Structure 1
Amino acid sequence: MPDPSNCKTSWLETLPLNLATLGAAGRMPKAPGTWGSLVAAILAPFLFLPLPMWGRVAVLILLFPLGSWCAGRAEKSMCRKDPSCVVIDELWGQWVTLLPLLASDTLWIIPAFVFFRLFDITKPWPVRASERWLPGGWGIMIDDGLAGIYAMMALLACRAVF
């Protein structure tokens, strides 16, 4: 496999790779998915939760094809299927989890983060199977969206109890 650090690439190749890895988050030596989810959780009160519901839905709708394209480009440039450094899918899945929260619900981001990581790591049915439903970057993104839906349901159940 070629070492991407030895390649001379144009901005057209480095931009999608940097977006796919959320900069340094995906390049952390241990648990890049957790770091990507943490970045998403930290950014949410500033970039996601202040938006009205229609704005959040629009962001998620736009982020899916953008993330899929970036993840697919990263796969090709790294010559690896679903490289662990690609964490834009964690951003999307984490924000799916946070969709029903209000901007003032910042403390609920912590259990949302925990629930999302739990479902993203354990991959209950059909999360694991969904990775094969779509090719390339689309498959990378879809499983995190489903994990995000599971996590959102767990978060809403937790909120109803507490």
Structure 2
Amino acid sequence: MQKLYLTFFYSGCVKKASGTSGTLAALIPAFFILKYLGMQTLFLLSILIFIASIRIIDDYEKQSGIHDDKHIVIDEVAGVFLALAIFGNTVFAFLLSFVLFRVFDILKPSIIGVVDKKFKGGLGVMLDDMLAGLFAGLLSAVIYGILNHFNLLQWDIGLKNLF
């Protein structure tokens, strides 16, 4: 059960790009949560996953002796949920938030990299991805605002208007 949760239904068990695989898998429930339940629900779910996962990851690391196993992708799930909850309510914003989250998660610029190096255990595994999600969501909103100001997003459609 622990592995099912930490690998987000085994989406993190792929050999290459497990983080991206887990993030892509997280987009499916995120889309439906945003479409039918709203951004607030996705935000709260992100926080709940963050809090619950710290202890579960701590237990896993004690059992396995491996810190931040590449197959653990629940941190990517919580992070991308946060990015999408901040600003992912249109098709363009949804895709932009995903891309920016992966960029911040892979490159770990600024405080994200510091947190990744300084914090150990479940908190360290989760916190850098939550920061990546925070910055991705905020930057998505800024980019969207600029593009929208210049009328470059007339083609974009809200998630609630799909299907």
TM > 0.5: yes
Give the corresponding residue for 2:74. Answer: 88
Name the SS for the 1:84 alignment partner: coil
Give the corresponding residue for 1:148. Answer: 133
Which structure 2 residues correspond to residues 10-159 of structure 1 after superposition, within 5 A? 15-48=1-34, 50-101=36-87, 103=89, 105-159=90-144
Contact 1:131-1:140 at 8 Å conserved across structures: yes
Alpha carbons of structure 1 residues 117 and 54: separation in structure 2 relative to 1, 3 Å:
closer
Q: Which runs of 5+ in 2 are unaligned?
A: 148-163
- Can you list the C-alpha shifts for 1:101-144, whole angstroms capped at 9, x where unaligned? 365x2342211111000000000111011124543111100000
> What is the TM-score when the length of structure 1 is the normalising length?
0.81
> What is the TM-score when the length of structure 2 is the normalising length?
0.80
Residue 48 of structure 1 deviates from its aligned partner by 4.7
Counting matched residue pairs gives 147
Contact 1:74-1:86 at 8 Å conserved across structures: no
Amino acid at match of 1:124: P
Q: Give runs of ≥4 in structure 1 deviating > 4 Å.
A: none
Contact 2:23-2:80 at 8 Å conserved across structures: yes
Contact 1:17-1:70 at 8 Å conserved across structures: no
Contact 1:17-1:73 at 8 Å conserved across structures: no
Q: Which runs of 5+ in 1 are unaligned?
A: 1-14
